[in-house]
Amino acid sequence: MLNAKPKFFSEFSRSPDSALAYRFSIEKEEAAMRSVIRFLASGLLLGTLCLVAAAQANQTGGITGVVTDKNGALVSGATVVVVSDATGKAERTVNTSDDGGYSVTLLPPGRYRLEISAANFKKAIIADVQVRITETARQDVSLEPGNISETVNVEATPTLINPSSATTGQALDAQTLRSLPLASPNFLFLLNLSTGVTGEPTDVRSAGRGTADVTVNGQRTSNNSVSLQGINVNDFNLAHFDTVPLPNPNALQEMKVATSLYDASQGSKGGGALGLVIKSGEKDFHWEGYWQHRNDALNANEWFRNANGLSKRARLLQNVFGGSGSGPVPKLGGFWFFNYQGVRARNGVDPAGSTLSPIIQAFPTNADGSTSAALLATSFNLAPAQIDPVALSILNVQSARFGGKYFIPRLGQTGCGGVTGGAIGTFTCQFSAIAPIKDNQYVVSYDRSMRHGKDTISGRWFWDESSVAKPYGTDTSLSNPRTDTQWNRFLAITETHQFNSNIVNELRLGFSRFLFANIPTDTINLADVGASRGNSAQFSGLYRVAITGSMSLGTGVNDDRGTVSNQYNIVETLSWIKGKHTLRMGGERIQYQLNRFNNFAVRGALTFGGTGTAALALANCRNDTNDCTAFQNFLRGRVTAVQSAFGDPARNFIATDWAGFIQDDYRFSPRLTVNLGLRWEGMSFGHDKLFRAGIYDPVLAAQGRNPFLIPEKVNLAGFVGTPGVSDCALKSCFDGNNFAPRVGFAWDINGNQKTVLRAGYGIYYQRLSNQNILQNSLAAPFTVQPLSSNANPTSLQLANPLGTIPPPSAVATAFIPQATRFAGLRRISGAGPLDINDPNVGPIFVNEAGQACTNYGGTATNCSINLASFTTVPVNPYTPYTQQWNATLQREIGKGWAVEMGYVGSHYIGGLGIWDPYIARVVSTSSPLTVRDMNGNSYTITNNTVNNEELRHQIIGLSRKRGARYSGNIGFAIYNSFQATVSRRLTHGMYFQAAYTFSRTYDNVSGSLSTDELNATRNGQNGANIYNDQSSPQQNKTRGDFDRPHRLVVSYTYDLPRTHSGFLNNVVFRDWAISGIVTYQSGLPFSITDSSTGGIYGATLGTAQFLCSSIQSAYTTGSTSDKVAHYLNPACFGTAPIIPLNTIPPSGITTNAGATGWGTTPRNAFRGPMQQNWDFSLIRRFTVREKEHFQVRMDVFNLFNHPVFRIPSGSTSVNINGGTSSFTRLLETAVPARLIQFGISYTH
């Protein structure tokens, strides 16, 4: 299966009218290459004519210094030749200025030799000068009097002191990258080594490349940038690291995360700026081969498997193998580098794809394991006739998928523990299955110097194809299989031209492509359980079933999707050294093309929550009082929330960004450098090629006009857009008002480059992903997403819970969005007069033609879109930005050691958040609300009921409970930190870095941890959503989702010293080395939610009622392992209180007739367990011949086999309505049990 190319990549129907337009693919490779060639040709022409744009992330470094004589007098006119150690060729020749200074810019990272000569002085040769990306090495030179034919050789002393700028962040060279323990060939796992960077501990169980999302100095995980060879490779689709190209560590020359105050040559994001450089060829032939192996026979058993009595370890086999070579190119000239790496694995321990820890509802069974309506009715106090036949069929579906006879596990089967909460409580299971993994990647480099070193051309090519068949891949606790496929392509060509010793120009052309597809396999079909759905011919699988507090099954709403993304970059940078000024200026143009499909919610998703009063549920549910537990509602087929979708799932987006910058590093004196920069970012909002998009303008709604704005150019199936509306439906598709000044300084206090004070301030704009525009394009009439919630649901609905679903088409003609008209009242249940203050009375809405439609349940065409789910952005959104500032002190303490400490802060403004700014108003007898229907009839509202929420909404007809929401610039964050680092750069066999951060992050909405900018996170926070009161997003301010006050990371490599005498002076004890990474950090914050909260507002995102005396008293006692069942005390929390009716309606209903308000538990009031992890490597090197070496290593992850837990309930928010048996359970570890890996390599 892994060797077959999925249909997703084989063809793509572009016909929007096709009912089968769910397959997606890419253009043929020949057409793609023609596009690349045309792009490269146009780029060369454009680069020749003008300076068009700025370096996204400068992937070069530099050398600067001052030349003096022995008495300290400045030497002007000295010649400085910079020679590459790798190629032996002179890269640059410059002369010192009148003040004795020299600067060399735009140098590729690596080791260099400086040759300095001047009349009446001996020639000085300084070897081993290290140039790192985005850094300028300081190398002062003192010349000795004498004849120029005489030579003085000096070895450069590596230093961690940066006397040239205020930029913070550490670089890792190739040797360090390969020395540190790394279980998967993913360098992103090393991003956490620097101060200011936080994230979950590295989970080396991940199947495939794994995920490594980090926050940098309080910024969102989506606010980090990645550049490869100076080419922006950020994911335009999702804005995370999930799809960026990942050359393996053996192919990398260097990587660096600039964490704050990087200069104006870098932009597009305001968090960390990750720069990657691929290795280049060398003057001598080199080659190597390597192999790494993991085997479950070497590992400890997972903590939760032991807890559930599973002594057999889950399967884990992995082989990473590859080789590299480099050398000169005969005849043609230049230097080449090549790397191949393959990965083959069988993974049974990945928590995101091959292991499950579901909470299962216990229920009675017959001797053969089956259950019946009679048994269920007896145990759950229902009548047999009340049991929905489809619910019974779901419970009795037979499948050996989880090791038993039935799909839904039974109590007592292998892997399942004891029951919690009595005979009808819940129990937890542990399952593992094999996820086959395959990955192949190739890296090629070519570099050639021409015209006597005046021109250098470089090329980099990267090719990768990977696939993972996840047995538990979908977003449910009883998951379906899913195959994840990802391909990456990358090409970069760089031309560097030296006009003279002071002016150098660099032109970069880049092309990046990624393709991914998530293809699920439905385990249970509708026909298996006697259910139906209108689109079952295209999607035969069962709808998603989620029972609050216990199990979920089926395919998740976002599990069936794929993307092809192409990105074209032109980057131009000019460096001009003029006296004390080192000027860089230029710009960048990025063109994005994003083709995607998403069969979002096409199978439907049903939620069964608890209703009424939980304490009365077991006794009253059979009496139709609405007091039912979540499982009772499932048995009765009472659906409390429904989500579905239909329409054309394919979209084709395009966008273009521009940028320009100027940067001046002014050497005010030999001891003081001032950095002045200005960057301009012109960022566009993407639009679909067929202009499928729509936004909601509340101003028009308030005027009684059609509030839905559709691009004017839309012309599909007879449907045309709104005159005067832009291609993306916004007021403008381009935001060019983004000017980012940056200023900093570095002061060498004593003039000896040992103590440097650095500080600065800068503004950084964030290139948003396409997610907010994508949501607009997925609205009616192009895609329709009915969403409903029902606090008093109807029984026996599971046979066809979604009703009529139209076939896929370019435009859903029955759902053209129109203005909503309030037409009067209707009785929802019971008998009595039509009084708007009666809880069982609700409004009637019609469209502009007078046709009534309730939640898309009617037959009228052109139904009012206000009654369905949609997400819109304001008509005039803007680009978020970050203000950064820092003040740090660096001090060299001798023998290559340095200490850095200081203050780093940031302020994030305008981040995306999801909320309802027009939330329903609260009324009372003293503050009533009067509304009028379309016929002029007045209604005075004095009661807050669920069913009159739409009328109390500030825009009549909108409804939060039906999914109407905004995605706008409401997010902000404040970050303050003390950061300290003790470090030693790799010299003489030793590297060391201890990075400690004490910080506080406060925000009102944190964004998601992974996947995209608008999702909830996998760790239990609420992502981009506002909790509780929606009218004032500022009130949601508290500590952020990713706030970790304390974080200490120690990384090291050490070649053990050789003993020259005694017993240890033996070949067995020579050439050993150790390395490791140690992490201690605070746990993440989390919230206690209540799905019933905010009923009077139509909202469902809120926190629970807090019942204890203090936040601290809510924690249970004992060690973390003792708190697995309940991390917090369930007695401290309750459901949101019912706000009673203010007046008694004519029907006389008074019991539980009101709706809920907000809970009192603060957002992120609690913090998960502290986390620690120890990874360790033992290395033995052998010298075979003078230039041939053999190495054996053992890597141990989680050395002391200590359980490291995530926050409670693993992947979902902690919900008080789940019941006390499942409340705040610790269900998942963040790192595996002790895992051992062996590796060998041979180098020539």
- Which tens digits make up the pLDDT trace of 805-830? 777 777 877 777 777 788 899 888 77
d(CA 862, CA 852): 9
DSSP state of 1216: G
Instruction: Specify whether the CB–CB gap between 216 and 257 falls below 8 A.
Output: yes
Per-residue pLDDT, 8: 37
pLDDT of 859 reads: 33
- pLDDT on residue 294: 92
- CA–CA separation, 171 vs 371, rounded Å? 61
pLDDT at 1212 over 70: no
Most confident of 802-811, 1038-1047, 1125-1134: 1038-1047
Using the predicted structure, report yes or no on whether residue 878 has a pLDDT greater than 80.
Answer: yes
Q: Give the percent of the chain with pLDDT over 70.
A: 90
Task: Identify the pLDDT of residue 989.
Answer: 86
Q: How far is CA 302 from the centre of its chain?
A: 26
Token look-up 């009424």 returns 612
CB 456 within 8 A of CB 505: no
- Report cis status (omega within 30 of 0) of the bond before 781: yes
Residue 1122 one-letter amino acid: D
Cβ contacts of 337 within 8 Å, gap of 6 or more: 251, 278, 279, 280, 281, 324, 325, 326, 443, 444, 445, 446
Structure token digits, residue 217: 């100095």
CB atoms within 10 A of CB 374: 12
Mean pLDDT of 770-782: 81
- 1016 has a pLDDT exceeding 70: no
At residue 1064, the pLDDT reads 64
Q: Which two tokens stand for residue 482?
A: 């899913």
Which segment of 56-60, 94-98, 572-576, 1191-1195 scores lowest on mean pLDDT?
A: 56-60
Res. 447: pLDDT tops 90: yes
Residue 738, pLDDT score: 97
Amino acid (1-letter code) at residue 1081: Q
Tokens, residue 1031: 């009218």
Who wins on pLDDT, 1061 or 1160?
A: 1160
In this model, does residue 20 exceed pLDDT 50?
no
Mean pLDDT on 251-260:
92
Residue 155 reports pLDDT greater than 70? yes
In angstroms, the CA 666 to CA 746 distance is 10
Residue 819's closest CA among 916, 934, 731, 932?
A: 934
Residue 1005 has pLDDT above 60, yes or no: yes
Question: Is 193 a residue whose pLDDT tops 90?
Answer: yes
**What's the token pair of residue 472?**
């538990």
DSSP H or E stretch at residue 563? strand 561-578
pLDDT, position 618: 82
d(CA 210, CA 326): 29
Grouping H, G, I as helix, E, B as strand and the rest as coil, residue 493 is strand
Mean pLDDT over residues 364-390, rounded? 95
What's the pLDDT tens digit per position in 669-716?
A: 989 999 999 999 999 999 999 999 888 888 888 888 888 899 999 998
Give the Å distances, CA to CA, from 991 to 60, 179, 531, 896, 1194: 23, 10, 63, 10, 19
* Statement: residue 94 has pLDDT above 50: yes
Give the containing element (helix H, strand E) for 176.
helix 174-179
* Whole-number Å distance between alpha carbons of 783 and 647: 4
Identify how many contiguous H helices and E strands the chain contains and give both numbers.
11, 70
The superfamily CATH assigns to domain 61-155 is Carboxypeptidase-like, regulatory domain (2.60.40.1120)
Residue type, 191: L
Q: What is the mean pLDDT of residues 1151-1174?
A: 86
Picking from 96-105, 514-523, 673-682, 930-939, which range would have the lowest pLDDT averaged per residue? Answer: 96-105
pTM of the model: 0.89
| pLDDT given at position 1221 | 57
Q: What would the pLDDT profile of 325-362 be if each residue is shown by its tens digit?
A: 999 999 889 999 999 999 999 998 888 888 888 989 99
Report how far residue 1125's alpha carbon sits from residue 426's, in angstroms, rounded to the nearest whole number.
Answer: 12
Rounded Cα–Cα distance for residues 80 and 83 (Å): 10
**CB count, 10 Å around CB of 1228?**
21
Asked if pLDDT for residue 418 goes beyond 90, the answer is no
Residue 812: its pLDDT value, please? 78
E strands present in 296-413: 316-328, 335-347, 355-356, 359-361
Structural tokens at position 1064:
């240890």
User: Is the pLDDT reported for residue 1098 higher than 90?
Assistant: no
Question: Which residues of the chain form CATH 2.60.40.1120?
Answer: 61-155
β-strand pairing of 355-356 with 141-143:
unpaired
Phi-psi region of 824 (alpha: psi -120 to 50; beta: other; left: phi over 0): left
Rounded (10°) CA dihedral 1012, 1018, 1023, 1025: 110
The letter for the amino acid at 350 is D
- Joined together, the tokens standing for residue 592 give 């994005």
Mean pLDDT to the nearest integer, 1210-1221? 46
Please provide the average confidence, as pLDDT, over all residues in the chain: 86
Is pLDDT at 124 greater than 90 in this prediction?
A: yes
Q: How far apart are CA 702 and CA 698, in angstroms?
A: 6
Mean of the pLDDT values across residues 272-297? 93
- In our burial notation (b when 16+ CB lie closer than 10 A, e otherwise), range 76-102 reads eebbbbbbbebbeebbbbbbbbeebbb
Mean pLDDT computed over 1069-1078: 91
Q: Which residue has the higher pLDDT, 69 or 1024?
A: 69
* Portion of the chain with pLDDT greater than 90, in percent: 53
Nearest CA-CA partner of 914 in 968, 973, 972, 963: 968
Q: For the residues 703-731, what does the mean pLDDT come to? A: 90
Q: Is 394:463 a contact under the CB 8 Å cutoff?
A: no
pLDDT band (50, 70, 90) for residue 1225:
confident
Q: Taking the CA atoms of 534, 539, 540 and 543 in sequence, report the sign of the dihedral they define.
A: negative
Residue with the bigger pLDDT between 154 and 423: it is: 154
Residue with tokens 């929401």: 965
Position 1061 confidence tier, pLDDT thresholds 50, 70, 90: low
More confident position, 575 or 1137: 575
pLDDT band at 957, cuts 50/70/90? low
